Amino acid sequence: MRSGSIDRKAQILKESTRLFSDAGYDKVTIKQIADACSITEPALYRHYASKEAIYDSVLDAIEVRLGTDDLFTALEKHSEIQPFLEEFAIHIIHYFTKNEDIYRLLLFSALRGHSKAKKVYQMIRGSYVKFLIMRLDRFFEEGKSIKKNNEVTARCFTGMVFDCALSTTLWKGFQGKAYKPEDVVANNVPIYARGLVTADEK
């Protein structure tokens, strides 16, 4: 890159991420991306070999944006199930509200059978599930939760939260009355937590 000039490649990545998540791969044209970057179509090909190459880069870049490590560290402070699950859920919902494009892209590519969909899906969702399994196992060892298949439990709980996140983004306005994510979590996580804790704890 020449000194003083803008980072065109980064600009293309940013604009195409926005466009692809808005409309999906097929509906976005090279011209749209080029226009969004204020250059012509052939100029795009100086930076990326093809439209597919741009899309690949967009999916690759998602990895960098996840950063779940901070969350997992923060969650260590909770020694009880309910507040732990609440913060876990709130984080996911807020994250996807702020990064709606990620989930849209994920759905688009998964539905289309894109080769990277599996990888991206496992990356995003799998990291949450894996951490939750580990923590649920520990809650059980500490005698705080009843015996369950924690792999299944973790998947389902994460699924419930992801679905809720979807309701506040993709399905926004589809379900009649809109609730704040905090209110939804405050209503439902206690149900789930109450169903998990050992009888003595109640």
Contacting residues toward its own copies, per CB under 8 A: 23-24, 26-27, 104, 107-108, 110-112, 118, 121-122, 125-126, 129, 148-149, 151-153, 155-156, 159-160, 162-164, 166-167, 170-171, 173-177, 179, 183-184, 187-188, 190-196, 199, 202
Decide: is 3 part of the binding site for DNA (CB under 7 A).
yes
Place of tokens 């599930």: 129
In the complex with its own copies, the residue whose CB is nearer, 37 or 131, is 131
Asked if residues 165 and 104 have their Cβ atoms less than 8 Å apart, the reply is no
What span, in angstroms and rounded, lies between the C-alpha atoms of 44 and 77? 48
Decide: is 51 part of the binding site for DNA (CB under 7 A).
yes
Decide: is 45 part of the binding site for DNA (CB under 7 A).
yes
Per DSSP, the residues of 115-131 read: TTHHHHHHHHHHHHHHH
CB under 7 A: which stretch of 28-36, 58-66, 176-184, 194-202 binds DNA? 28-36
Shortest reach from residue 75's CB to its own copies, in Å: 20
Decide: is 8 part of the binding site for DNA (CB under 7 A).
yes
Q: Which residues pair with 197 in a beta bridge?
A: 145
Is 36 strand, coil or helix?
A: helix
In the complex with DNA, the residue whose CB is nearer, 55 or 96, is 55
Place of tokens 């000039």: 5
Decide: is 61 part of the binding site for DNA (CB under 7 A).
no
CB under 7 A: which stretch of 36-44, 127-135, 149-157, 191-199 binds DNA? 36-44
Asked if residues 107 and 158 have their Cβ atoms less than 8 Å apart, the reply is no
- Select the binding partner of residue 115 from its own copies, DNA, none (C-beta < 5 to 8 A, by kind): none
Shortest reach from residue 42's CB to DNA, in Å: 4
Instruction: Reduce the secondary structure of 46-91 to three states and give it as a string.
Output: CCCCCHHHHHHHHHHHHHHHHCCHHHHHHHCCCCCHHHHHHHHHHH
